Amino acid sequence: MKKVVLAYSGGLDTSVCIPLLREHYGYDEVISVLVDVGQQEADIIRAVERGKRLSDIFKLINAQDEFVSDYIFPLIKANGNYEGYVLGTAIARSLIAKKVVEVAKDENAEAVAHGCTGKGNDQLRFDAVFWAADLDVIAPVRELSLTREEEKKYALEHGISFEAEKRWSIDENIWSRSIGGSELENPAFFPPEEVYQWTVSQDKAPDNADIIKIEFAQGIPVSVDGQSTTTTGVSLINALNKVGGKHGVGRTDMIEDRVLGYKARETYEHPAATILLEAHRDLERLVLTRNELRFKEFVDRTWSELVYQGLVMDPLYDALNAFIERTQERVNGAVYVKLERGLARVVGRESKNSLYSSTDVSFETRQEQGQKGQGQGIVEGFSIYHSFQARKFSEL
């Protein structure tokens, strides 16, 4: 019996893949796998109902805790950001693909499949993990070059019904919500408020700001305002999504460079991600040296590009994580963030590992010559040579 395991979302693309895998590719058993990484409960319920009806075997895997601990927390440590995008969909795809491969191994399936087209990034993210597992990879929508209209027609012919056509294409998990399609594909189109569900507009945000205290231990956020109930990470992120969204924090509307070279207009919501990344970067500036920060900026950018491209199987990814983990040993402390009308601003920070010295930096403190070699007079010698080459150049 030929078996194939499908990464299933409940949407049109993956739903039409189920009969296609039987009719066009000749598989006897289609096993659909839906991975819960924080989608809306209503969407999960609809996808489960449809998946059970269409598939030979259907599996729902709750991976929210694993998503946060093994993917989101490392992302925070790496200040994960690609051209302004917080990598929500990108990093989730690697975990979903991993779970599909695990099911394929357990079920002794010959192949794995996804419903991606040939134009986006997700095909590469799934393929990278799938090919590394030494399984046949099938992408019906891409391989058959199906248009949306062709998919809809095929779905009707096979009794796959969908509610009225949605205006927007939505992808959601606990870390971010992406909105695309329809008029949003026009870079000049102003997104209407209806596209946003997690955040209010700035003009509807409350007049009174909130100041929250976020505590980090080795680069990982462990509490918000001292609430110990956030230890799983999932509840912490959900809480920040709620309070950040109330203040309109975490909207991104950008032109993004896809892996294939296309420029795409992308719209995102990500309150918790905005808050946590802002707080984490600030704490790093307090506890890491200038050289560490400069080098880590390059490491973080490279890490983010690998995640965006779906190359978490690349050995460089593990090597970068090893460096990042070492730097996070001292990223301990608390950051105070003010949430106000679409902004998340750090207004204070503290750490036992702080490299900041108010005595050394203050203009109000007298520092005598020879005091730890830091007297102000000593700086004159440094200053003379600081611009040495520039002065030589000006003399030419």
Q: What is the pLDDT of residues 89-117, one digit of tens each?
A: 999 999 999 999 999 999 999 999 999 99
**Is the pTM here over 0.85, yes or no?**
yes
Q: Is 94 a domain residue?
A: yes
User: So what's the pLDDT on residue 385?
Assistant: 85
Q: Which of 36, 122, 127, 282 is catalytic?
A: 122
pLDDT of residue 68 exceeding 90:
yes
Domain count, the chain: 3
One domain for residues 114 and 210: no
User: Residue 87 belongs to what domain range?
Assistant: 3-64+75-165
Q: Which of 15, 32, 93, 171 is catalytic?
A: 93
Look at the chain and count its residues. Answer: 396
The confidence band for 6, taking pLDDT boundaries of 50, 70 and 90, is very high
93 assigned to active site: yes
Q: In the chain, where does DSSP find H-type helix?
A: 12-23, 41-54, 64-67, 73-77, 88-106, 122-132, 140-143, 148-157, 234-246, 271-287, 290-309, 315-327, 358-361, 379-386, 388-394
Instruction: Tell how strand 29-36 and strand 210-217 pair up.
Output: unpaired
- List all residues 6 or more positions away from 147 whose beta carbon is below 8 Å from its beta carbon: none
Residue whose token pair is 């090597």: 319
Q: Is 304 a domain residue?
A: no
pLDDT of residue 185 exceeding 80:
yes
Cα end-to-end distance, the chain, whole Å = 81
One domain for residues 363 and 260: no
- List all residues 6 or more positions away from 178 whose beta carbon is below 8 Å from its beta carbon: 88, 89, 170, 171, 172, 266, 267, 268
Question: What percentage of the chain reaches a pLDDT higher than 90?
Answer: 82
Q: Sort 292 into a burial class: Cβ within 10 Å, 0-12 / 13-18 / 19+.
A: middle
Mean pLDDT in residue range 181-208: 94
Q: Is 324 a domain residue?
A: no
Name the DSSP class of 57.
Answer: E
Q: Which of 9, 13, 32, 125 is catalytic?
A: 13
One domain for residues 248 and 273: yes
Residue 154, token pair as written in the block = 């095929």
Rounded to the nearest integer, the mean pLDDT of the chain is 92
**End residue of a domain, out of 165, 186, 214:** 165
**End residue of a domain, out of 147, 165, 183:** 165
169 assigned to active site: yes
One domain for residues 99 and 136: yes
Q: Which residue has the higher pLDDT, 317 or 359?
A: 317
One domain for residues 157 and 183: no
Q: Which of 43, 56, 136, 169 is catalytic?
A: 169
CA distance 18 to 58: 11
